[in-house]
Amino acid sequence: MRPLLPLVTLWALLLALALAAPARGDRTQERLKLPGGRELVFELITPEPFDPAATYPVAIILPGGPQTLAMAQASLNYLDPLCRERNWIVVSPATVGDRLYFNGAQQHIPALFADLRKRFKVEADRFHLLGVSNGGLSAFRVAIDHARDIRSLTVLPGYLPQKDDADKLTRLRGIPVRIFVGSDDQIEWVDASKTALAACQKAGLDVTLDIRGAQPHAIRNLSPKDLLDMLDGFRETTAAAASPQHAEVAAVLDQLHALAAQADEDGYFALFAPEGVFIGTDATERWNVAEFRAYAHPYFSKGKGWAYTPGVRHIDFSPDKAVAWFDELLDNAKYGTCRGTGVLRLIDGRYKIAQYHLTVPVPNSLMNRVAKLIEAEEKKRK
């Protein structure tokens, strides 16, 4: 399905809102210099009063229509001034050049993430991403491409901009996805929203579709309070993710994958506890550190590592924080979506990997066929 042209009525409504709301002292227009001499211009709202040393939730709203600065300003008018009263930082970027944030301009979003992290202490180090109309398509695009940066995804409305995006939705596991669409919207938007819901459900996501009765493309009966209440609800699960221990464990796991890709044998195995165990995808693969190193050495010594890119990750701790356990989704060029689970424990004040288990999740619909293949393979081995 090709992206639909934005509605003129939506443009008119949002532009009217933009002209109606005066600028505030804590609402600014910022410019981010990009490689090649271009600039990313974005509207920014900070809480009132603002404490530079404090940690704040940060929402990024990708605007609709042509995603111009006027549309970005209109997007912020919707939440201003309630967002500042409830201690939210809210950002809306205009597009760069003549491309939208789902067909080329999304390449600049990582620079925006980095700039915001330099300016502010971002709660849980992840962003709540919203999108309106074309911004909804853009929000799906950005979330799929940068799942590790996203805390929640809300589209009003929006759908998957490319057919093959459905195959990548597993990256969003653990991220709440909320889809809104008006019942009186063009049927293409309603149908596309339903298709997005089905794809998200198939991928095992936390997703809902709210079809707002008697509402057009520009949904009018979702109040700023309702929206911020929903976003604040998502924040309740981020407290643990904001802890130093959480950040340290996440850093160890990130380092593990980076060193494996670099074939850095010494650095890689230094991350394991002395009693560490690696469990591979084959039922026979359960190795202690020495055995695993013997297996990996022929590859690492030739500069051949393995590249698994982490996506959504969950980390939990024992009450005394001495033990951590995790599960994470991984992308691999050969095997597709994989899952890593394991345990870390504190040794001399640093977390070390006591167990790492690599698996390939099997969809329930394929389990019978896969089980038969495994059974046949085991018979061959005997």
Single pTM value for the model:
0.64
The pLDDT-based confidence of 242 (bands split at 50, 70, 90) is low
Please name the residue that has the structure tokens 């939705």: 169
CB distance 170 to 337 below 8 Å:
yes
pLDDT tens digits for range 260-310: 999 999 999 999 999 999 999 998 999 999 999 999 999 999 999 999 988
Contacts of 10 (CB under 8 A, 6+ apart): 64, 65, 132, 133, 217, 218
Task: Tell me how long the chain is.
Answer: 382
Question: Which of 41, 37, 39, 28 shows the shortest CA–CA distance to 67?
Answer: 41
Residue 363 pLDDT: 84
CB distance 317 to 245 below 8 Å:
yes
CA 228 to CA 169: how far, in whole Å? Answer: 25
pLDDT tens digits for range 180-239: 999 999 999 999 999 999 999 988 888 999 999 999 999 989 999 999 999 999 887 655
User: Domain locations in the chain?
Assistant: 8-240, 243-364
Please name the residue that has the structure tokens 């300016």: 119
Contacts of 32 (CB under 8 A, 6+ apart): 39, 40, 41, 42, 111, 112, 115
pLDDT tens digits for range 327-353: 998 888 888 889 999 999 999 999 999
Would you state the structure tokens that stand for residue 368, as one six-digit string? 């019978």
- Kindly tell me if the per-residue pLDDT of 12 is higher than 80: no
Dihedral sign (CA 106, 108, 110, 116)? negative
Give me the architecture of the 243-364 domain, per CATH. Roll (3.10)
Higher pLDDT among residues 290 and 246, named by residue: 290
Residue 8 pLDDT: 41
- Class in CATH terms, 8-240: alpha beta
